[in-house]
Every structure is written in C-alpha cells, then in structure tokens.
Amino acid sequence: MKPIKFSVTLLMVLLLGIGTLSAAETSVVKGRVLCSGSGVEGVLVSDGHNVVKTDKNGAYELNVDLSESDFVHISVPSGYEVERKGNYPLFWGRLDTKATGAQTFDFNLTKVDQSVYTLLTMADTHVCGGVNRRANADEVQLYSSELMPTLRECVAGAEGRTYIITLGDMTQVGYRPSYREGKEGAGYSFTDYMRDTNVDVPIFNVIGNHDHDIPKKGTAFTESTIRGSRRDYHAELGPVYYSMTIGREHYIILDNTFVLTSDAHGTTDEKATKGNQVRLCNAQVEWLKKHMAAVDRSTFDRIVLCMHCPLLNTNGGFAMMRPHQIMEPTAGCEMVVLIGHSHRDRTVRSWHNGRVIYEFLHPSTAGVAWYSPINTEGTPGAVVSYKFKGKTFERKYHPYGSQKGVQYRVYDNADHAWKYPINEITGSYWSYAREVENGYHKHKPAILVNIWGAYSCTFTESTGGKGVTTKDCYDLAYRDWYWETYEKSLCGEIPEGQMLRKANWQTPSKSNCAWRYVPADPTAVVTVTAKDVFGNVVAQFTARASK
C-alpha cells in the first residue's frame, strides 16, 4: 500500500476548518457591573466554568465555550441588590449559543442596608395543578389562597430586607406542560410557579429532583449530557448553581441531584445506572473550586449552602456522595446547610476537621403533597424564616391554613387530652392498633410532645421527681389521620380523587423533634422546655400526665 500524501494546501484547509470550528464554539462575553452608573470593583462573574473579577471600572471579560455554558452570572456582593423582573433577580444573562461575535451583559446594582435581614424558605411545594391526580386544580387553589397569604404576612412582618429561597421541587417531572403536549394547562410549569408566587421580594431558587427532566426511554444522562436534565429549569429560572452574599452570609446554591434515568430512587451508589445519585456534576465541582479560590472570605462570617438533598445524615455523618468536593473548597468556613427533599423537620449539628456544620432539613411546605397540611412526622406545612442580625440568627416556623399559629403539639391525659390515653408506649408504633396489641392498657401515663425546630427538650416536675424521657416518636395527629383516611378511601367513603395511595412517603414516620416523658409523679405539673441547636428557647409550656 502506498503511503497517503497530504498536500500543503489540503493541510491548510484542514487547519483552517479546525480553527473555524473552535471560533464558532467560543465567544467573548463582556460587560460591566454598575451601581448608580459607576462601576463596582471585585464582583465575581462566571459562565459556570470560569470565574473572573470586575476591575476598578466594574468591567469584566470572559472567553466562553458555548458548547458548555448557558449563562453568565454575577455573585451579588454584600450590601447590594440586583435589578428584578417581577420577583426574580436579574443576576444572570442567557448566552446566545449560536453567536459568532462578542456578547455583552451589564448588571445593575442598588445599595441596600443588610445589617439586619430576613430569609424566608419554602421546600417541596410540589404543585402539579390541573393534572389527573388527587388534587388537580385544588393544589393551585390551596397554594394561592392559603400559603401565599401566609408568605405575604411573613414579608410584611419581617425585619430588615427580605429574601426568599425555595429549596426545590416546585413542580413535578412528568406533569409539566412540556411533557403533555397538546394538553394546554394540563401541568404546572416553572412559569406557573413564578406567576403564583407573587410577593414583592427577590426570590432565589434551588432545583429539586422533581424539577429535573428525565432522558428519553432507554438512555441515561452522563457528565457530558447532564445539562439536558435541567432543560425546563434553565429555560425559565436560569442557572442551577450560583452564589451571592447577603449581609455577612455567603450563599452558595448547588444542584446535588445527578439524574441518571429518572427522578425517583435517589442513591449514593457509585455504580448506579438508574434513578438519581445524590452528588454534584463535575462542572459544579470545578466551578466551586474556582469560586472559593476567588471569593474574598473577609466579606462574610459563614457560608449558607442551599441544596435540595441532605449533605448530612441524622448522626452527623455524610449522606451525600463525594462530600469532599464541597468540604475541601470551603474548608475553614462555618457552614449552615438549608435543604428539603425528605419532607420532615430535622436539625443536625456536626463537626468536621475542626469546623461546625449546622444542617436544617425543612418539612414539605405542601404537607403531604396537599393531601394533608401536616407532614408524615407531624410538622405542619410552613414557611420557615431566618432573621440574621450580626453573627446570630433566629429561626421560626410559620404554618398556614388549619395549622396556622401552631408551633408544637402536646398530648397528655389532663389539659391536652387526646382521643385515647397517652402512656409510656404511645407513639412507639406506626398505628394505635399496634399499640393496643402490645398491651397498651397496662402502661404508665405519659406526656407526648412534638416541637418543630427543637434540638433538645427537658421535663421538670413540680414535685421534684425525675421521670424517663424517650426521643423519636410518632406524631398522633398525622398518624391517626392517615389510617382513618386510608380506611375511608378503601371503603369508598371519600371521593376517588382524594384517595391515599399508601406510598411509602405518605405513611407515618417518627419525628426527630418528638419526645415522650413518663413522670415519677403522674399528677405533677411538668414544665416542658425546648431549645434549638443554639440553646435558644423555642417553646415552653406545662402539661400533666394524669389529673
């Protein structure tokens, strides 16, 4: 076989072709960050891969690979707010992936006082609306008529500037209009969510597992195609990982759901080929490294990490895959983690390499997906507020609808009597029937409390006695409602559309914020004092195990 000979002309054509392809895939992105017409120096600007700072004139320039990047976005610095379109901050611009020339994006800031500010959070609202499920349009109605007035009240009563962060699962994969073509209004889109969450404050969002798209049947997303799982979210809400500084807190928003084949069956198995893994994609990991290398750490006291799925488990160990990818770039920073996903209330305090991490797991704002305003472990659907002042913050629950104003539940045999006696095994089993089977009537009288947001709880008897405390119990309000409603649905006593499906996530679960106390003196007045993870009293009241 004769060797193939390339002419100089052919070689030049090939090289020029390669050069043309490279130019078509890249773009110079530039612009300025301004406040009252003057440039703001030192603002971080990113395309999701590269990170640069604005110069003394507020100018920046990025060489962007359009095959990898969808947005250019800034990290809004402390003491500023960015322009908004309605509720949604314009901290990002959408890149033209077909552009052949330079692209320009300017960002306009306004100075504000953030010495005191309030952050409002919602998690797992799961509005589907208008689809062929239990609540259909009722879910939108409940969201608008019950939740939104409470959110507006929180805004009106907040101290300082107010911001909202939603912690994911605002919609439901498979029930968004893009998945039900030809059936207009049959789903609930991100546009619907933006329209219905109509409060006049900046709203930042976290993408949840149910907010991701899923690949076509028979395929799976990979590191190179994972952007496809964010198609709907990108189209309407912008980037899924970004940052900003508010007051003395540096917020980092991440997408820790790596979709493989569906939005269900989350896993931490490195070898998984279906469902979704609880981890970051490689692009986020690299962005986070560059971001933390560039950010001025003197401008904040702590990092507030906002994701959908937990970083920690109940015992303080890591629940997320590859946690070093977060821990190493942020080393040396106190960290507060705000998450949703698990539809329950839980606080974890943990130490790793000499620093403390506080993780707050938020109950579903929708309760049990709008079947009940109460979550499976008893916490009501609620807006949760954080008031930041200096280096401290206060946390509070704001339930809505029938649970409005309820901050805890007490069950005893005197002042807070329930439908059956409360004794030393009440709340131990998944149903009242099971407790009866286990000799329910033979046990000592007790007090059962469920106090959302509580990290510790003490019981003090008026007569000086010391009883026995047990943690992690079932909440009776939800447990009894569930089994009564489920029996009615089986017997056809409630409309078919309101039936429970007996899914695992609906069945009653034990609460990390519930305690049972069996007093030494059953007739003693018991003072119950619950504190949060910082030692602040969140509830104090009295109860009696027996009259």
Say if 195 falls within a structural domain.
Answer: yes
* Predicted pLDDT of residue 173: 84
**Six-digit token string for 197:** 């969450």
**408: amino acid identity, one letter:** Y
Judged against a pLDDT cut of 70, whether residue 490 lies above it is answered with yes
**Six-digit token string for 305:** 């990490």
* Predicted pLDDT of residue 65: 95
User: Where in the sequence is the domain holding 509, given as residue range(s)?
Assistant: 408-543
| Coarse DSSP helix, strand, coil percentages of the chain, rounded to the nearest 5 percent | 20, 30, 45
What is the share, in percent, of the chain residues with pLDDT greater than 70?
90
* Predicted pLDDT of residue 151: 98
Q: Are residues 458 and 539 in the same domain?
A: yes
- Greater model confidence, 264 or 304: 304
Say if 55 falls within a structural domain.
Answer: yes
Q: Are residues 395 and 515 in the same domain?
A: no
Nearest alpha carbon to residue 460 among 525, 545, 539, 514: 525
Q: Is 59 exposed, middle or buried (0-12, 13-18, 19+ CB in 10 A)?
A: middle
Say if 335 falls within a structural domain.
Answer: yes
Judged against a pLDDT cut of 80, whether residue 183 lies above it is answered with no
- Greater model confidence, 231 or 497: 231
**Six-digit token string for 20:** 């043309």
- Measured between alpha carbons, how far is 408 from 164 in angstroms, rounded to an integer? 24
Q: Are residues 35 and 180 in the same domain?
A: no
- Measured between alpha carbons, how far is 322 from 288 in angstroms, rounded to an integer? 14
* Predicted pLDDT of residue 1: 38
Say if 3 falls within a structural domain.
Answer: no
What is the share, in percent, of the chain residues with pLDDT greater than 90?
79
* Predicted pLDDT of residue 184: 52
Q: What is the mean pLDDT of the chain?
A: 90
Instruction: Residue 61: give its domain's CATH number.
Output: 2.60.40
Judged against a pLDDT cut of 60, whether residue 4 lies above it is answered with no
* Predicted pLDDT of residue 137: 67
**Six-digit token string for 88:** 């949604």
Q: Where does a domain end: 387, 403, 419?
A: 403
The number of beta carbons lying within 10 Å of the beta carbon of residue 132 is: 11
Average pLDDT of the residues in 273-278: 94
Q: Are residues 75 and 41 in the same domain?
A: yes
Q: Are residues 96 and 129 in the same domain?
A: no
Q: Are residues 521 and 395 in the same domain?
A: no
Judged against a pLDDT cut of 80, whether residue 208 lies above it is answered with yes
Cα 129 off chain centre by: 21
Handedness of CA 131, 136, 141, 146 (dihedral sign): negative
Q: Where is average pLDDT lowest: 133-147, 324-338, 452-466?
A: 133-147
Q: Is 327 exposed, middle or buried (0-12, 13-18, 19+ CB in 10 A)?
A: middle
Judged against a pLDDT cut of 50, whether residue 203 lies above it is answered with yes
Instruction: Tell me the pTM.
Output: 0.92
Judged against a pLDDT cut of 90, whether residue 24 lies above it is answered with no
Q: Where is average pLDDT lowest: 290-294, 387-391, 447-451?
A: 387-391
Q: Are residues 52 and 198 in the same domain?
A: no
Residue 45 phi/psi, 5-degree rounding, is -125, 140
Q: Are residues 399 and 414 in the same domain?
A: no
Handedness of CA 277, 283, 289, 294 (dihedral sign): negative
Q: Are residues 530 and 451 in the same domain?
A: yes
Q: What is the 3-state secondary structure (H, E, C) of 426-490?
A: CCCCCCHHHHHHCCHHHCCECEEEEECCCCEEEEEECCCCCCEEEEEEECHHHHHHHHHHHHHHH
* Predicted pLDDT of residue 496: 59
- Greater model confidence, 218 or 132: 218
Instruction: Residue 247: give its domain's CATH number.
Output: 3.60.21.10
Judged against a pLDDT cut of 90, whether residue 286 lies above it is answered with yes
* Predicted pLDDT of residue 20: 37
- Greater model confidence, 177 or 201: 201
Q: Are residues 351 and 283 in the same domain?
A: yes
* Predicted pLDDT of residue 139: 83
Q: Where does a domain end: 403, 423, 458?
A: 403
* Predicted pLDDT of residue 328: 97
The predicted-structure confidence for 109-141, as pLDDT tens digits, reads as follows 999 999 999 999 999 999 875 444 444 567 888
Q: What's the domain count of the chain?
A: 3
Q: Where is average pLDDT lowest: 25-29, 187-191, 463-467?
A: 187-191
Say if 367 falls within a structural domain.
Answer: yes
